[in-house]
Chain A
Amino acid sequence: MKQLIQILEGLGSTLQLLMRAASYAGTLPRQIGRFVEQCYTIGYTTLPIVAILSFFIGSVLALQSGHAAENFGPKQFIGLLVGLSMAAELGPVMVAVLLAGRVGSAIAAELASMKVYQEIDALETMNIPPARILVLPRLAAILVMMPVLTIIADLVGWFGGAIVAKYTHFISIEPESYFATMRQYMEFRDVWNGLVKAEVFGFVIVLVSCNIGLNTRGGPREIGASVTRAVVVSLILILVLDYFVTKALM
């Protein structure tokens, strides 16, 4: 019962924070500096790890499907398999999991320490709403950067699969053939749906992490607890939302 109340309280405070941040949307043009800084932090600094992971996920997908296709099934469909898997599921989910661990934890840690060391109280006494200068630029940045990161993850994953498909001796498919099945059978909607999912995941990760950070009470130990909670809650929400968003988009 106590946990249920905590969950409902968390949901309520998260929605309140969203409403407050949305009410300051008009101030975004004059916060362009903060927005660009967050785009850099969320997007640019996450890019290398997204590229490395998606390259190897695409490679493993090609390797596994190539190995399975040795015994049954036509190998030229490996391109389609890698393409669909990356665009519809693995691209958005993998980027979201990475962001939860890297960006969600950083946001929770920064805002929690600002709360614990009374910087948030200082903002409030200055009549500067934290939702305006700390939450809104981050939410705007994730909405812009999440599709970019997901498209890059998709492309690099496809490329990794193509390299493995060509140079693995038991697959040996030329890139032309690999990409031909992708072009032939994949639709724009497959990529689009993946981008919609990624937007939802990214937005939720940032919102939840901001809320957990801003509601931290106590000392340094609670900062660590908030970081852990932000990552765990984000991961759970990614997987739960994945099901519902996928179903809604079908």
Chain B
Amino acid sequence: MAEAPSTTRNPFTHVETPAVGVAVEDLCKSFGTFEVLKHVSFSVAPGEIFVLMGPSGSGKSVLLKHIVGLELPSSGRVTVDNRDAAAEETREQVRMALVFQAGALFNSMTVYDNLALYPREHRIADEAGIREKVMRALQILSLENAAEKFPSELSGGMKKRVAIARALVMEPQLMLYDEPTSELDPVMSATIAEIIATLKDQYRVTTIVVSHDRDLALNISDRVGILMGGELLFLGTPAELRTPTDPRVADFLNPKIDLQNPRFKKLET
């Protein structure tokens, strides 16, 4: 594992604050009789960039929602900076920002107002201070010209960048990304991966990325976890991921198109 820096640098004030860690302990989650997560355990060190991979429907996004407290565990525990992630106070004590898969931008607001909402609602600064902060976040993501646009006027890649900029304005100690490169062309996917890695390198924010993008995991992560069918099948470094021992993991990472014996015919209905 890479040597984890112990402080996070604020992108606006450049003040150093202790980086936060995340621990998932024996986490189980069921919706009715359907078990989505089965005894999942792992930890993310302060300042680390951890990529959680897995096929669609494997429970990655549900796991992410447990970390930000949007879902409550059926059993087990998730802690952020040694505080219970399910407790409302944790969100007040630890600044966590989640970049949603579809951006989750507020459609009735301009890009500027989307970014200004958090500092305005939490009365972090006066309007001039908020403007400075928002424009700095837009500048970091090369979005200065999009400030007055509405989300409906943006391309998919720009929406993702605005969502990252909005997360950045929260001055997060923990950044979470839900499928940041999905629905993007390869170049834009690489751009987003570069942004995630750059933000992590410059500000040393603990980062958890949920994705099924192999290139992203191999190139920017300190460690990778692979979740399949609600179980964590692999936990290791990108180097270890290149030579997986579990055949299910190997098949997920390097799927061969088999026209003689197609997978869809073996899927359960």
Contact = CB atoms under 8 A, between A and B. Distances in A.
A126 B122 CA distance: 9
A170 interface: no
A128 B121 contact: yes
Contacts of A114: 106
Contacts of A119: 104-107
B62 interface: no
Interface residues of A, number: 12
Interface string A23-41: 0000000000000000000
Nearest to A27: B121
Main secondary structure of the interface of A (DSSP, over half): helix
Interface stretch (B40-48, B89-97, B195-203): B89-97
B98 to A, nearest CB: 5
A185 interface: no
B98 A122 contact: yes
Contact of A126 (B65, B101, B102, B117): B117
Contact of A125 (B98, B101, B102, B122): B98
Interface string A117-142: 11101101111100001000000000
B118 interface: yes
B84 to A, nearest CB: 16
Contacts of A133: 121
A125 to B, nearest CB: 5
A133 B106 CA distance: 13
B104 A118 contact: yes
A118 B122 contact: no
B200 to A, nearest CB: 19
Contact of B117 (A121, A124, A125, A128): A128
Contact of B70 (A117, A121, A128): A121
A127 B92 contact: yes
Nearest to A31: B121
A122 B169 CA distance: 14
B42 to A, nearest CB: 21
B141 to A, nearest CB: 17
A126 B104 contact: no
Contacts of A117: 102, 104, 107
A125 B92 CA distance: 10
Contact of B91 (A118, A121, A122, A127): A127
Interface residues of B, number: 21
Main secondary structure of the interface of B (DSSP, over half): loop
Contacts of B98: 121-122, 125
Contacts of B106: 114, 119, 122
Contacts, number: 44
Which of B104, B117, B170 has the largest count of A CB atoms less than 10 A from its CB?
Answer: B104
B100 A118 contact: yes
A120 B98 CA distance: 12
Nearest to B178: A118
B97 A125 contact: yes
A118 B117 CA distance: 16
B210 interface: no
A14 to B, nearest CB: 21
Contacts of B70: 121, 124-125
Contact of A128 (B69, B97, B102, B118): B118
A122 B100 contact: yes
A23 to B, nearest CB: 13
B208 interface: no
B134 to A, nearest CB: 14
Interface in B25-72: 65, 68-70
A125 B121 contact: no
Contacts of B65: 121
Nearest to A113: B107
A3 B69 CA distance: 30
Q: What 7 A-B pairs come out closest when comparing CB atoms?
A: A118-B104, A122-B104, A125-B98, A127-B91, A128-B121, A118-B100, A126-B118
Interface of A: 114, 117-119, 121-122, 124-128, 133
29 contacts: A114-B106, A117-B102, A118-B100, A118-B101, A118-B104, A119-B104, A119-B105, A119-B106, A119-B107, A121-B65, A121-B98, A121-B100, A122-B98, A122-B104, A122-B106, A124-B70, A124-B91, A125-B68, A125-B97, A126-B97, A126-B118, A126-B121, A126-B170, A127-B91, A127-B92, A127-B122, A128-B118, A128-B122, A133-B121
